[in-house]
Chains A and B, each alone.
Chain A
Amino acid sequence: MITAATNTTLDVATGKIVFGGEAINNFTKLVQSEPLLQDMTNSFVYSTVLTILCLAICSLAGYGFELYHDKGKDRLFGILLLAMMIPGVATMIPLFKIVSAGHLLNTVWAFILPTISTPFMIMMFRQNSRNFPVDIMEAARLDGLSEFKIFYKMYMPVMKSTYAAAAVITFMNAWNAYMWPKVVMTDPKAQTMPMLIANLAAGYTIDYGVLMMGVLFCSIPTMIIFFVLQKQFTEGITGSVK
């Protein structure tokens, strides 16, 4: 805890001590040397699209697996969990082939497809759904609500904190993803923030002031999201380990 606290402050402190009043200078240098705005937008768009789609698909599945469970679905879920153990590097080459065969390189689809549905997220929603009152569903059915409407009108509002936690995790992972974007987003116009920062550090002489400015920009969005959703985040996680 103390290490974490001091480390972050120390990082900030070194930036301040060494580079003092250079903040604006560093910022202009950063904007001039790298397409900061473009990459921020890219990262933001990709991560947001991924988060929304991933939450929609995985929550639907988690809901289905828990509240409509039967032998077949339980078995299927067991198989899906196996996918959790498949390492990213192992599937990277075939995935790259799929994406390039579909002419999706450098598009948002290339970025989101591999992680649009993850066993971890499905599991999280499935675990959390245990607390969902089943009686409500019966009542809703008697009132003539369709199955999808029950999900949309009743499940989603009740599970707000789970959605928040899942959103934080998915967005952070998407925003911070490095290996996969590095493979499929080869066009400089499509590059993301982590790639920009890696570029900043790739030269022989690294301007640490500019680098830290980039790091700062790269960290701000995830931190904002975390702070905004912090309370729901802890609640959502609590539900998932029950």
Chain B
Amino acid sequence: MLAGSLISLKEEQILEKKKKGSTLLAKQKRAGWGFVIPATAFIMVMSFWPMIEALLTSFKTGSSASMKWANPLTFNYTRMLQDKLFQTSMGNTFLYLIIEVPIMLVLAILLAQLLNNRDLKFRGLFRTLVFLPCATSLVSYSLIFKSLFATQGLINTIFVNLGIFTENYNFLGNPGSARVVIILALIWRWTGYNMVFYLAGLQNIQYSVYEAAKIDGASGWKTFWHITVPLLKPVIIMTFIMSINGTLQLFDESVNLTKGGPANSTITMSHYIFNNSFGQGVANFGYASAMSFVVFILVAVLALINLKVGDTRD
């Protein structure tokens, strides 16, 4: 009897302890959710909800006040297939993507490797110089490039004085060269940004690994290819996704550097969508939404492919 009550008393104590512990845990759990909810709510309202609305809008026609369901529903999407300008903008965007992103990332990784070398003098200074372009605003640097490549601009002056050109060349007046200028500008602006991520990644690789490779007689190129690249893989994938995302949404450069011209030959998708929704005169929200949804799907698909290809851990 006594023993029984003693046991039950002990049990009660244990139970009480458990109860206390669980309320503490519950409190922690609640606090954890409390921490993540504000950010989640904002993303839901500011990203997901607009995305759903854009999807709905993409099935409608008419201007903002009198929107009605399109007939047939896919009207805005089939319209894209016939829209030459949309196809041009898509072609341009992909051209920038295919040429610019690989060059930029390779350049960034090589620079990072170079600047990670411990024997290099003035490392800090060089790092700052490479990153500096990222501190300039997109609009500013677009305009700087515009003035550099203007018909009377610095590049022309230099080339003519060196005798490479016989007369001033209108870089931004020709579709081909205007595209090249945009790509050059992009490389200048974003290489440093990506380099910072690589540099950070490189700093996590033990220096002794390199020393070991050196002792084993691996050449610089071999070390780079067999040690640096595999170990940097997560960072490379991250920068790749960021770059794809950024390039597909290219806007400021197209607007400020070339205004999409000459004759809309360098326009990007984002720029064209912007023109359709907030541009000259007609606000064609339905069509613009449909196009932006296509951009979303492109970004998502490319990012997923990237993750799949890059994900080798199991």
Contacts and interface: CB of A to CB of B under 8 A. Distances in A.
Nearest to B55: A90
A119 B140 contact: no
Contacts of A208: 147
Contacts of B314: none
Given A1-B130, A91-B50, A183 B278 contact: yes
Contact of B201 (A58, A86, A178, A241): A241
Nearest to A182: B278
B180 to A, nearest CB: 15
Interface stretch (B4-12, B171-179, B213-221, B288-296): B288-296
The listed residue with most A CB atoms (<10 A of its CB), out of B49, B115, B192, B278, is: B278
Interface size class, chain A: 35 or more
Interface in B131-163: 131-140, 143-144, 146-148, 154
Interface string B16-34: 0000000010011101111
B188 A7 contact: yes
Interface string B169-208: 0000000000000000000100110001101110110000
B295 A64 contact: no
A93 B33 CA distance: 31
The listed residue with most A CB atoms (<10 A of its CB), out of B40, B45, B269, is: B40
Interface in A141-166: 141, 147-148, 151
Interface in A1-20: 1, 3-5, 7-8, 10-11, 14
Interface string A175-197: 11011001100000000011101
10 smallest CB-CB distances across A and B, nearest first, come from: A68-B32, A64-B35, A61-B39, A90-B292, A147-B31, A94-B50, A117-B42, A91-B50, A94-B53, A64-B36
Contacts of A108: none
A172 B134 contact: yes
